[in-house]
Homo-oligomer: A and B are copies of this chain.
Amino acid sequence: MSSPTSSPPTTTGNRAADPGVPAPVRAHTNDDTNDDTSADTSALDAVIARAERAFDTLALLEPAIVAAALDAAAEALGAHTDELVELAVGETGLTTPRLTGELRRTRVQLRLFARTVERGDHLDVRIDAADAGFALGVPRDDLRRLLVPVGPVVVFAASNFPFAFSVAGGDTASALAAGCPVIVKAHPGHPELSRRVADVVASALVEAGLPEGTLQLVEGQDTGVAALRHPRVRAASFTGSLRAGRILADLAASRPDPIPFFGELGSVNPVVVTAAGLEATRPELAQGFVASVSGSAGQLCTKPGFLLVPEGAGLGPAVATAAASVPEHRLLNAGIADGYEARRDAVLGTVGVRIIHAGGLRRDADGHGWATPTIVEVGLETLRDHRDTLLDEAFGPLSVIVDYPVGTDLAATLADLFPGNLTSTLHAGPDETGPDVERLVRTMARTSGRVLLRGWPTGVAVTPAMQHGGPWPATTSDATSVGTAAIARFLRGVAFQGARDDLLPPAARDANPWGVGRSVCAAGESTAW
């Protein structure tokens, strides 16, 4: 466990000393990397007490200060780009260009949330004027509602985005923007990077005027679980495997006082190509598909796991050629390599599965797995018959082309086989209209959080209109973990009735000193309801 902003300094900065030597266990995280099992209760209590104190102070700060601190965090990360990317390359096997881009994305994300804080729309301030003629037949007192931060939150970092979904990633940025102190449970796949990012960002936040304890790092599976169960923790977020996410979601729900748990778990991101769509996109279809499957060695939540094409599409040769040109890529860690190997073996061992490109998976002397893309093809009936084997997410560069017969009810097929995903993609013809395609789009909107009508689902934009979350098992809730709407996860509503102006939160005062957008229900208005 480490606390980047206080306690006895160690060689890695101002973190508290780690409580012990990591012991090898199968962690609850989405891989098998060794993880510390020690849960030092008093140390955790101290971390959470600091978070509580930070929460009290944060509540009194003007938005401009919080926004400036988020900007400062982005700046500090930028100033350490080379060092951080180098650390990340070593610990994750991801490439320098990918990690450089991801760090840029992480900085943009912090700045976007800084602008969100400044604007204040997320506070959803509503004012009902006192109304002697209120429609209910009794006078309505002055009522002012706004959203306030929930309190200290725990963020379980992911392995596959060591910047953007880790210590200073989207969950942390949105929670800080909401005004919640964050306790990050480090992912054991990149421990040194986690500590260094925590040092850099926590220092920047404190230097910018936020209280100590605003961002803290803890390590170890048991410590993460203890934090999730701690009475003072008010919400948690997670990105990782279905298995680990379910365990943590159940823990959050079974607390004496259940807390919200926002988990992003598993998604296979189907891509459907209609006959007209095939005609329109054929020149770039194979290349685009393979690029989306193999980017970052397929270790992306939005990797297209299934490509549904009309029978006889004949994509095999072009896909095989594209796949053959993809260089070998290291998988994040040994646990992910083990999981990928098992999934790949299961898929390749299923009767009726035809290999388009077998790809490879070799181990190096350090136990790391190195993979090239594996693409297979099955008929829709085979997929239905072997759904228990074939439909699971394969975390790595494997994807399944599904041939569907002419006349297949694609909407019903999607609802049946792909009921919960982060994304669904439809490649239809440019002029393809009518009830079938409309119903297919509506079905995609019911079964996933983002519907693409062109392009590929990987490459998630960080922007106000993004939705990264969909029906179970894509996520445990209907929330998004990317985009400005992610801030809503860490807010709750409070109404003030009949309050003297000086006792109201600034955003709800008559003078509106923060200049936030507010909706007002005037006296007399209710008679028109």
Which A residues form the contact surface with B (CB < 8 A)? 59, 101, 104-105, 108, 111-112, 114-115, 121, 124, 126-128, 134-138, 140-141, 143-145, 148, 150-151, 249-250, 253-254, 257-258, 260, 420, 430, 433, 437-438, 441-442, 445-446, 448-455, 459, 461-467, 469, 471-473, 476-480, 483, 485, 491-500, 502-503, 505, 519, 521, 526, 528-529
CA distance A144 to B476 in the complex (A): 23
Q: A141-B455, A461-B134, A503-B437 are in contact. Are A250 and B260 (CB under 8 A)?
A: no
* Count of identical protomers in the assembly: 2
CA distance A104 to B137 in the complex (A): 9
A152 to chain B, nearest CB (A): 12
Q: A257-B420, A492-B478, A526-B108 are in contact. Are A466 and B143 (CB under 8 A)?
A: yes
Contact A494 B449 (CB under 8 A): yes
Contact A451 B526 (CB under 8 A): no
**Of B124, B257, B473, B495, which one neighbours A449 at CB under 8 angstroms?**
B495
Q: A143-B466, A260-B478, A467-B145 are in contact. Are A494 and B108 (CB under 8 A)?
A: no
Contact B433 A465 (CB under 8 A): no
Residues in B whose Cβ lies below 8 Å from that of A471:
257, 492
9 interchain pairs (CB within 8 A)?
Answer: A59-B442, A112-B529, A145-B465, A145-B466, A145-B485, A257-B473, A437-B503, A463-B521, A464-B519
A241 to chain B, nearest CB (A): 16
Contact A449 B493 (CB under 8 A): yes
CA distance A89 to B445 in the complex (A): 45
The chain B residue with its CB closest to the CB of A425 is: B497
**Apart from A253-B253, A449-B495, A453-B497: 8 A-B pairs, beta carbons within 8 A:** A101-B137, A104-B136, A121-B519, A127-B465, A128-B466, A136-B461, A138-B459, A145-B464
